[in-house]
Structure 1
Amino acid sequence: MQSVFSGDIEVSIVRAGREIARVVRPLRETAAGPVIRFKRQFWPVADGIVYLDNGPIPEDGDNSPANENLVRHDEEDDVLQDAVISAGGSARLLVNAGPGTGKTFVACSRVAALIGEGVPASRIWLVSFTRTAIQEIRNRLESYLDDPADATAVKIATLDSHAWAIQSGFSSEARLTGSHNDNIRTTLERVLEDEDVQEYLGRIRHLVIDEAQDIIGDRARLLLAMVDGIDEGCGVTVFCDRAQAIYGFTEDSHGDDDGEIFVEELERRSFEPRELRRVHRTSDPALLKIFTDVRQRVLDERLPASRKGELVRGEIRRLAANQLGQSWDLDLTGVPANSLVLVRQRCDALTISGKNSEIPHRLRMSGLPSRILPWLAQIFWDYAGRRVSDDDFTELWQTRIDESAAPLTAERAWQLMVEGAGVTGHLVDLHRLRELLGRSSPPVIFTSPEYGDGGPVVGTIHASKGREGDNVFLFLPPLEDDADDEEEIRVLYVGATRAKHRLSVGDAPGRQSGNIDGRVWKRLPKDKLLIEIGRSGDLDAEGLVGVAAFSEEEARKAQLVIALNPSMQDLYAAAKGDLGWNMELVTPEQQRIAVLADRVRTDFREIAKATNRWPQPGYLAKIRSIGLRTLVVRPGDPVLERLHEPWRSSGFMLAPMLVGFGWSKLKGRS
């Protein structure tokens, strides 16, 4: 029978009533109805579902869908994917996978195949660079496995989380102090010198590493030590794409000096090369050229970087479906919710967000607090017990949570708690749960991937790596003399290849802001200042319910105001002498709801030094909150003694999601 291609479709593969996989395939319209190709056979599609129990369509004679070139293309794609998925459990593979080529599908299918061959799920480790990727893999893996519980057993985490697990598991003196790099270096020492750690790593049966092109410096050395230290029979599957190597991996950095050390070292260790070629993310012809032809340009080492940058920029502009103006003019009113608005610099994302403060949107940038979902504090803020039963939890949920607005059901929330800190299926240890949630990187199952609750995502290209959107609004920064040309080329390529259906391109200003330990600030005419607020650490437990900040009655009132007003505009912060010149945060009605942490005061002092003006700014106006999050204090933390009850006993409290630029003004004279 003849067939016509109708673009790509995401299809659920179902066997015995259960979804076993989710794939993206070209949809063929035939006389017998719509079909896709899966595992080298054609299958009928009904309402986006392929039922394997019904059997494939015979491929004899006229019953085979036509268009042999595309069929061969699909067959090649199946072979390339199967070469990774079905490789032996002890194989060591280096998989070159460009954007949109089905890397997550292959990674999940690889893990499922290993478990199907008898590898214990708990002996499989998966390491990714970002929490965003971890969350996506976790969400998808369960549907690939015969036993969904195996998805929980697989150790899926960022390298920092794996490193901390190794440290805390083998040292009673392990502390979450210093920088993330300190954590990595300490773990590296243990991997190299501690026999107990080496024996523990010897239990790994398969190691999957994602985004290898961005693993550099101490992280590269740690992973190489792990690869060299695991048993020879332990397999390793590594995914990489040099075209997406943006080594600084933060929106305000410009390169690193360690290059591609990790991938190069794996090549020296004779890892077997594999490749994924077919782009599944989009079927748009212009976007496909960006994913393929422009990618080859990005990887071309023959051209000078400056010339290559001009060509890549020009091609991205030419192939975009729409040309935009300046980033600061973007109105989010007409931007669909399934869109990404991407910029190179953090300052530009904050500016767009501030200009659209009345329009619901989400933020995705580094440096923001982990957004632990608010239902945890809403349930447990006054719960003093060490453990909670499923019956007690259900009663609390029914009396405290608005089911119509909740992001999940009570049953699902309980399942997550059991997964994280279950004693049995009917009992959860809240101290253990607080230990998990009190980490700098809490488990992704309790967090939201973006900062906010609805609308399009506004963020930096770096933080959106690994994500995709139906529509992408990409604002290109100007060329800058001190930038790493090769890195900037790759950054733009990463931004452009987030699009599934439509790419629009505009312009963003160059770097016009200062940076104090990650906090962005900007000097305006007439000594006005824009200063970022809402970074990780700007609010802490003492500033929300501490005895130095509130009386017990005032703390209860403040928490109630926060709970009843998830979105707030025109908050105001001012330094107070009785607070050690830390800033109280008040509503327009002058109700204190928090005291900002000491780091805000010290950062303001550094801004004063940078501008050679004194005294430092003493207020911040036009602060806003875009929602609620849970803040958790771990059991045994000395901070607890400085909190009011019931939070001293419970360890759970609500915090506003502060975002964006606040307004201030320089004082005095230089």
Structure 2
Amino acid sequence: VGDSAETDDEYPMSDAGTVAEARHLLTDWDAEQMRVITADSDDRLIVEAGPGTGKTAVACARLAHLITEEDIEPSKILMISFTRAAAAEIRARLHSYVGEASYAIHNATIDSHAWAVRSGHDPSARLTRSYDDNIESVIALLTSDEDVADEYSRVEHVIIDEAQDIVGPRAELIESMVGHLPTDCGVTIFADEAQAIYGFSKRNSKRNIRSNDGSLLERVRAGKLGNFSNLPLGQVHRTSSAQLKTIYSDLRTELMKSEHQVLELRDWVAKAIEDLSAGDFDEFIKQHPADSPRDLLVLFRNRADVLDFSQGQADAHSLRLSDYDPGLPAWLALCFSHFLEPFVSEEKFRELWFVNVEGKGKAREEWSSAWLSLLKLAGRHDRVVDMLHLRRRLGGARPPIDVARSEFGLEGFTLSTIHASKGREADVVILMMPEARKSRSVEGVVEEARVLFVGATRARKELYVVRNKSLWTERLNSGRLFCSNQNSREQQVSVEIGRKGDIEPRFLVGATQFKSAEAAAAQDFLASVSRSVTAYNLVKRPDRVSKYGIHFGEPETCVGIMSGSFSRDIQEISFRPGGVSFRTPDQIGNVKAQGCSSIVLAPEDGNAESLHEPWASSGFLLAPKIAGFPSYRTDRS
């Protein structure tokens, strides 16, 4: 359905997949899981799946069963995931089940699916519009454009994840989409009301649900999408810990009851989680005295707390934040920034990899999986990769999930907000328990209780709870967070760095910003630290626009320039309307970068003309993956 940026039918692979090998997968499932996996292809199911019950594995096994046993063509299956990370996990796991057939399945987030449909049918479609605008446009197209509606008539099965968190226009789009499916098209919807944290979903609602109101789960229960059968997944498989199983099952049951005093529910859940945890941070250090476990997930309530904690970490780690695009891996620019040929063969790519990437910390065997991902994106039948087509695929606003990273940063432990951790699990979880928010509404209290429940159920083996006082932040119109303490003489600020748009290609290798030799030296330096944590200083440039250069070391190497939007935000913090004005800082120190990512420009991108060679022609360049919450101090202007 649509020409999604997350699928590729233009350059098909030669093998349809070893689907016969998937038949052995119908073993080692519990009875509830088997009922979901082997349900008839035209069944319409709502699957109530608590945390740790194997939801993702069951969804993949159901897809494999539909392909191998029900003979449904993969291209006629639509899989709607809640996040790009979840879509990537589904794709990877499904590939192990059915081989290359997994790439024919339309596997996308709601936003990516909406854009694919709209861009294929609306000549006025623009990526500059908001996600909600695109979704509203597709809803309108479904009712006004017969060609759009006709596309859904060819779909034979749809799987939708996290229905409890699909709200507003996205829920309305799914409702409209299901209404245009053939009557014999099956639909499998996975949901868990106890994990509804993206908008309150009221239990047992008796109200009439308007077409633009209620989560997708509420709409299904109200009969807005037709008749659905309910199937539960109740057995916890994620953990063998008795304490964690109590949280996964018993606490979930209690959370769903209405017997508790609602305004005390959050505190009751917090105490239960603390009582059932393995202890606090001191206990964590006692159990892991040498090094932190590699599979460690540290969870916070707010984005600013994640960035502030990351700011103080010297070890490599990654960030999982809803508003942060993980970007494209550095190996793309390392291999192709100086490659100007129209096609690349497997032999040539292997040579590029071992010259430019192997010595930068990548495992030797990873070159082959990288090559396969390139083939899937832009491979021709003669098994060479078309570089112009590759740039078009990678240069879009929503790069394909086959190559885009799922987390921001490097390998190592992961810092995340609880919201962004959905679908993620780890052997060891440290839950930074936030203070109770001052909310008197039923919706607010219940949502906070569910947020804590979601955080606690990410753990497979060990859960530690640390009481944490969240930062008090303000938000600029741009969305940037900051903290400010000031008196009549000086201002101390901590500010969010790493938002989309903070670094642009022309501020890395632009011909008007750098000499050619300077740009080359900067890119060479970034290549040398592409797998390292690096601390930079942002230094105000001696020009009228007051942009900040990104500097490292003595003598200083300037690797780029922060964007004008970043400078304007710093000015807005310094010059508050009706208050005391302060000077903008001359320098912001200790700005952390978690390695580098690749920026890829499509051949038609006009920004390429402003760059030095070879980047103007190749379209590939490196950018530091800056993210943090650094502080600075300044006095009155």
Confirm or deny a common fold (TM above 0.5).
yes
Q: 2:320 and 2:24 mapped to 1: Cα distance?
A: 28
* Candidates 69, 81, 94, aligned match of 1:128: 81
Matched ranges for 1:312-391 at <5 A: 312-324=269-281, 334-356=291-313, 358-391=314-347
* Residue equivalent to 2:367: 410
> Structure 1 residues 531 and 161 mapped into 2: Cα distance closer, same or farther (>3 Å)?
same
SS at match of 2:409: coil
State the shift of 1:468 in Å. 0.6
* Residue equivalent to 2:538: 573
State the shift of 1:20 in Å. 6.0
Matched ranges for 1:244-283 at <5 A: 244-247=195-198, 260-267=214-221, 268=223, 269-283=226-240
Matched ranges for 1:138-287 at <5 A: 138-145=91-98, 148-247=99-198, 260-267=214-221, 268=223, 269-287=226-244
> Structure 1 residues 659 and 510 mapped into 2: Cα distance closer, same or farther (>3 Å)?
closer
State the shift of 1:404 in Å. 8.1
Residue 606 (1) aligns with residue 567 (2): no
> Structure 1 residues 89 and 467 mapped into 2: Cα distance closer, same or farther (>3 Å)?
same
What letter is aligned with 1:489?
A
CA contact (8 A) 2:196 2:447 kept: yes
Residue 104 (1) aligns with residue 56 (2): yes
> Structure 1 residues 539 and 413 mapped into 2: Cα distance closer, same or farther (>3 Å)?
same
What letter is aligned with 2:62?
R
SS at match of 2:463: strand
* Residue equivalent to 2:607: 639
> Structure 1 residues 384 and 187 mapped into 2: Cα distance closer, same or farther (>3 Å)?
farther
State the shift of 1:420 in Å. 1.1
What letter is aligned with 2:156?
R
String of CA shifts for 1:143-196, please: whole Å, max 9, x gaps.
222xx1101111111111111111222234322103222222222222222211
State the shift of 1:607 in Å. 2.2
Q: Which has the higher strand share?
A: 1
State the shift of 1:120 in Å. 0.5
Residue 429 (1) aligns with residue 386 (2): yes
Higher relative contact order (CA 8 A, sep 6+): 2
* Residue equivalent to 2:205: none
State the shift of 1:355 in Å. 2.1
- Where in structure 1 are there 5+ consecutive unaligned residues? 1-14, 24-37, 40-76, 250-256
Residue 662 (1) aligns with residue 616 (2): no
* Residue equivalent to 2:250: 293
- The 10-residue stretch of structure 1 (129-138 or 575-584) with the greater mean CA deviation from structure 2: 575-584
- The 10-residue stretch of structure 1 (313-322 or 82-91) with the greater mean CA deviation from structure 2: 82-91
State the shift of 1:332 in Å. 10
Residue 534 (1) aligns with residue 494 (2): no
Between Structure 1 and Structure 2, how many residues are aligned? 592
- Where in structure 2 are there 5+ consecutive unaligned residues? 1-17, 201-209
String of CA shifts for 1:292-326, please: whole Å, max 9, x gaps.
11101221233332221121111101100112379
* Candidates 494, 518, 522, aligned match of 2:483: 522
State the shift of 1:391 in Å. 3.4
* Residue equivalent to 1:551: 515
CA contact (8 A) 1:89 1:234 kept: yes
* Residue equivalent to 2:596: 628
State the shift of 1:214 in Å. 0.6
State the shift of 1:243 in Å. 0.6
* Residue equivalent to 1:43: none
Q: 1:579 and 1:650 mapped to 2: Cα distance?
A: 32
State the shift of 1:390 in Å. 2.8
Q: 1:315 and 1:182 mapped to 2: Cα distance?
A: 42
Matched ranges for 1:417-566 at <5 A: 417-482=374-439, 484-516=444-476, 517-524=478-485, 527-566=491-530
* Residue equivalent to 2:90: 137
* Candidates 385, 388, 393, aligned match of 2:349: 393
Q: 1:203 and 1:192 mapped to 2: Cα distance?
A: 17
CA contact (8 A) 2:318 2:408 kept: yes
State the shift of 1:618 in Å. 4.7
- The 10-residue stretch of structure 1 (615-624 or 645-654) with the greater mean CA deviation from structure 2: 615-624
State the shift of 1:610 in Å. 4.7
> Structure 1 residues 323 and 411 mapped into 2: Cα distance closer, same or farther (>3 Å)?
closer
The Cα RMSD (Å) is 2.6
* Residue equivalent to 1:595: 561
What letter is aligned with 1:302?
E
Q: 1:90 and 1:537 mapped to 2: Cα distance?
A: 45
SS at match of 2:368: helix
* Residue equivalent to 1:28: none
State the shift of 1:22 in Å. 6.8
* Residue equivalent to 2:12: none
What letter is aligned with 1:264?
E
Q: 1:532 and 1:630 mapped to 2: Cα distance?
A: 22
What letter is aligned with 1:662?
P
- The 10-residue stretch of structure 1 (108-117 or 480-489) with the greater mean CA deviation from structure 2: 480-489
Q: 2:414 and 2:528 mapped to 1: Cα distance?
A: 25
State the shift of 1:586 in Å. 1.2
Q: 2:626 and 2:456 mapped to 1: Cα distance?
A: 29
SS at match of 1:424: coil
What letter is aligned with 2:236?
V
- The 10-residue stretch of structure 1 (482-491 or 659-668) with the greater mean CA deviation from structure 2: 659-668
> Structure 1 residues 565 and 324 mapped into 2: Cα distance closer, same or farther (>3 Å)?
closer
State the shift of 1:282 in Å. 0.6
CA contact (8 A) 2:330 2:622 kept: yes
